[in-house]
Amino acid sequence: MEKALERVIEHLSRARSVLFVTGAGISAESGVPTYRGIGGLYDGKTTEGGVPIEVALSGSMFRRRPELTWKHLHEIERACRGAKFNRAHEVLALMEGRFDRCWVLTQNVDGFHKAAGSRNVIDIHGDVHDLRCTRCEFTERVRDYVHLAPCPSCPQCGSVVRPEVVLFEELLPPEKVAVMEREFALGFDLVFSIGTSSLFPYITAPVVEAVARQRPTVEINPGQTQLSRVVDVHLQMGAVAACEALWAARDRWKRG
């Protein structure tokens, strides 16, 4: 592991632009449960209503039965309530000041990267704290769902309100896709994949493209994924421990 860390430090010392792609694993260390992972809320079982969580949290289900989708949104939010960003999120935010260009592309909807201080964040699946009306222009930023009704309605027009997140079956937000594609086109000297099972094509694409361009790639994940055999370095450890180790060596790869 020490040799692997040394290789990553060497890559960091040469990089002027860095992309961090993050998934559920980075927030799991804050106590945020996954849906389907080991120990997740819906690990090996369906929802109380007898349907898979992917169906309950789908765009089509929300259109037909918003109260059912909201039931599980409340359930997930309660399980995450009180959690906050961890040291890994903080380190990635600090990294912004150490490179000419530094971005975070995250699948997570918890908002931890921005809360930790990162400014260049593409939260491609949205943020559960941002609510919007399904009919009018009403929007609201909330800390949690404590004050929300079981199926909240808009205070202006009475229509159903929803979180500004991408439900299953829904398209990614065009404005965020545009930013993602712009930054991908510019390329990065170094690409990290942190705590993600790398199932979505747009999550694996930055790593695969970096490999094709012969740019160094790093995976931080205690388990094995489809990227583990592709990346230059696989740090088989948790996000917090890995980020702490890299930040502790920062004077060796970049001076402020």
CB-based contact 32:128 (threshold 8 Å): no
Query: What phi, psi does 115 have (nearest 5°)?
Result: -65, -30
Distance CA 221, CA 64 (A): 38
Distance CA 178, CA 10 (A): 32
C-alpha atoms less than 13 angstroms from C-alpha of 207 in its C-beta half-sphere:
30
CA distances 179 to 123, 124, 185, Å, are 11, 10, 10
Torsion of CA 189, 9, 90, 208, to 10 degrees: 40
CB-based contact 156:138 (threshold 8 Å): yes
Q: Which two tokens stand for residue 59?
A: 């765009």
Active site (catalytic) residues: 125
Query: What phi, psi does 155 have (nearest 5°)?
Result: -70, -15
Torsion of CA 244, 250, 251, 254, to 10 degrees: -170
How many residues make up the chain in this entry? 256
